[in-house]
A and B are shown apart, each in its own frame.
Chain A
């Protein structure tokens, strides 16, 4: 019951804030809604007993990535509205239609797969044993997934170097 209340509240918040992110005209407000959205997702992770990921979500997404967005919004001070010009060849309606199609498709998959499967009994026994998953997650990352982990760190290094090269002013 408690989980149901938490889930529905968070779902409404997440979807509402998501809609706000893509519809708000002002970019700064949009960034703010994105932060709130990420915080709600973090709480959802807590509900799903993934505290480590919840904290990482707040630290990396809300505290890192979105701050970067906010910086860019502040550095890019526009003399005219960001969406003033519209390409006449642009097919916004088709875009909307296509997004609707994606939604329908995903809904179809969900209905199809969950309609078929036996009523899932797994959630009836929530994983009580796993109180702190941080240690197990770290263990997995440094044993079974060591190589992907290192590749990810190389990717981050490359991205860092790339971002610095791109963003620095040529003198």
Chain B
């Protein structure tokens, strides 16, 4: 019953895949953002697990940066979303096609 770093990698891969499914299948932009957060978390789990099993802290340092970037992404992404919503009254990604031809 020993937990190795492989266990954590599998967990992280599964969570990442759930995030990918969310991004590719859902049409609500807010949920897509949340799926991206799930993917970032999957990566974080991996980094922390390996930081522990390799007995150094570099992975954890990296997680701090990932969290910072996630915060920046959420702020800008939701800002764009609000600005878009004010013009088009929708959060459906299928209707966000004004830049597409």
| Chain B residues whose C-beta falls within 8 Å of the C-beta of A60 in the assembled complex | 67, 70-71
The number of chain A residues touching the other chain, given as a range, is 35 or more
Asked if A86 and B94 sit within 8 Å, CB to CB, the answer is yes
What residue in chain B is nearest A159 (Cβ atoms)? B72
Asked if B37 and A76 sit within 8 Å, CB to CB, the answer is no
Majority SS at the chain B contact face: helix
**Are A41 and B44 also in contact (CB < 8 A) when A1-B1, A99-B25, A137-B60 are?**
yes
- Of B24, B49, B73, which one neighbours A95 at CB under 8 angstroms? B24
Question: Residues 65-94 of chain B: 1 if any A CB is under 8 Å from the residue's CB, otherwise 0?
Answer: 101111111111011111101100111101
| Chain A residues whose C-beta falls within 8 Å of the C-beta of B71 in the assembled complex | 60, 64-65, 156, 159
Residues 93 to 145 of chain A near chain B (Cβ within 8 Å) = 95-96, 98-100, 102-103, 106-107, 109-110, 114, 120, 122-124, 126-127, 133, 136-137, 140-141, 145
**Are A140 and B16 also in contact (CB < 8 A) when A68-B75, A87-B97 are?**
no
Asked if A95 and B18 sit within 8 Å, CB to CB, the answer is no
- Of A41, A61, A148, which one neighbours B70 at CB under 8 angstroms? A61
**Are A76 and B91 also in contact (CB < 8 A) when A38-B41, A83-B26, A83-B27 are?**
yes
| Chain B residues whose C-beta falls within 8 Å of the C-beta of A15 in the assembled complex | 11, 14-15, 18
Report if B101 contacts A (CB, 8 A): no
Task: Number of B interface residues at 8 Å Cβ cutoff, please give it.
Answer: 75
Task: For residue B76, give the distance in angstroms from its CB to the closest CB of chain A.
Answer: 5
| Chain B residues whose C-beta falls within 8 Å of the C-beta of A155 in the assembled complex | 68-69, 72
| Chain A residues whose C-beta falls within 8 Å of the C-beta of B63 in the assembled complex | 50, 53
Q: How far is the CA of A78 from the CA of B92 in the complex (A)?
A: 11
Asked if B33 and A14 sit within 8 Å, CB to CB, the answer is no
Task: For residue B32, give the distance in angstroms from its CB to the closest CB of chain A.
Answer: 9
CB<8 Å pairs between A and B, sample of 16 = A18-B19, A48-B48, A53-B63, A57-B44, A60-B70, A64-B71, A69-B30, A69-B33, A76-B81, A78-B91, A85-B92, A106-B13, A136-B57, A137-B64, A167-B79, A169-B86
Give 4 closest A-B pairs by Cβ, nearest first: A95-B24, A22-B22, A166-B79, A159-B72
